[in-house]
Amino acid sequence: MTEDILEPELAIIDPHHHLWDLRPLIPMFPEPRHAFIETIAGAPYYAFDQLHADLTSGHNIVGTVFMECGAFYRADAEEAFKPVGEVEFVNGVAAQSASGLYGPLRACAAIVGHADMLLGDAAAPVLERLIAAGGGRFRGIRHSGAWDSDPATLGPPFHAREGLLASDEFQKGFAHLGAYGLSFDAWVLEPQLVDVIALARKFPDQPIVLDHCGTPLNIASYRGKLPQHFERWKKAIERLSECPNVSVKLGGLAMAFCRMPEEGPAIGTGSQALAELWQPYIETCIESFGPARAMFESNYPVDRWGASYPVLWNAFKRITAGASADEKRALYAGTAASFYGIEDLLD
């Protein structure tokens, strides 16, 4: 799908993308393996060259935030410290982008990594190692809490336990984030939004951002039930927005868990059709949180299921066509820059 780029001068910070090489792991995935990876991950290989091609495909992307994804862990490290390898790798990618050889944009200007919050107090030295590995770019942690009673909803790559965010062990580790000035990215599924609300209320000074509009589900036993669950999702989003320490990422709706569109990957759905599908969710989030606590995200390459990179951002721009210049500045770059401490990208 090829489209003219809408509002090509609008500065964008993409606050959520991944980098990985799943090719050595393909034998571990269920059959049909390539189809599984294409559906859930979007691409088996997504490194700087692929990222840079997407970032320079027409929209004015000035910088990005890398989001942990379990890639490039250190094989020779103790279990707790294995995720340091991912941050070391991504910091190298950030340095490559910052060399200026590839243009002015700054990929991975901020890095969000993983530390096992179930370590409790023992998470502290892991956080220190991650910060050191980030070379000044490390900003926060994501420890996915996505879980569902139907194992077909997420599939074998996801291993969060039920009630993770509410567990005493998790919260003991979580409590250390504030001491290091780190944010927390919360990825849960729509039925679990109550867990994020409870966590945000218990730690009112901890900055939290909800990933993927809270991941409304249209897969496995949830298939075809988006309209049925919309009001439940909406009420949870409105309740969560009452927590001033929480922001929201606007995106993720094109991934296979949400299936907006129903069929993929990359079937060529245009931005107008995507905007119509996503508008009720994105407008609810913006109305609830306000532009100062909302940021558009690509979630690439996972959202490749339903949209090419240029078409994805065109769809967002169609949804915000009536927004003011100040609102757009916040939604597309300002909120992300403030939340992740990369305001210099907008100087």
- Between residues 40 and 340, the one the model is more confident about: 340
Q: According to the 3-state scheme, what is the secondary structure of the chain?
A: CCCCCCCCCCEEEEEEECCEECHHHHHHCCCCHHHHHHHHCCCCEECHHHHHHHHCCCCEEEEEEEECCCCCCCCCCCHHHCCHHHHHHHHHHHHHHHCCCCCCCEEEEEEEECCCHHHHHHHHHHHHHHHHHCCCCEEEEECCCCCCCCCCCCCCCCCCCCCHHHCHHHHHHHCCCHHHCCEEEECCCHHHHHHHHHHHHHCCCCCEEECHHHCCCCCHHHCCCHHHHHHHHHHHHHHHHCCCCEEEEECCCCCCCCCCCCCCCCCCCCHHHHHHHHHHHHHHHHHHHCHHHEEECCCECHHHHCCCHHHHHHHHHHHCCCCCHHHHHHHHHHHHHHHCCCHHHHC
Specify the pLDDT at position 47.
Answer: 97
Specify the pLDDT at position 266.
Answer: 67
**Residues 277/263, Cβ–Cβ less than 8 Å:** no
Domains of the chain with CATH codes: 11-346 (3.20.20.140)
Q: Do β-strands 45-46 and 20-21 pair in parallel, antiparallel, or remain unpaired?
A: antiparallel
Model confidence at 263, pLDDT cuts 50, 70, 90, reads: confident
Average pLDDT of the segment spanning 83-91:
98
Digit-coded pLDDT (tens) for 206-226: 999 999 999 999 999 999 999
**Residues 282/319, Cβ–Cβ less than 8 Å:** yes
Average pLDDT of the segment spanning 164-177:
98
Pick the range with the lowest mean pLDDT from 1-10, 62-71, 183-192, 315-324. 1-10
Give the percent of the chain with pLDDT over 70: 97
Specify the pLDDT at position 27.
Answer: 75
Model confidence at 23, pLDDT cuts 50, 70, 90, reads: confident
* Mean of all residue pLDDT scores within the chain: 95
Residue 32 has pLDDT above 90, yes or no: no
Residue 1 has pLDDT above 70, yes or no: no
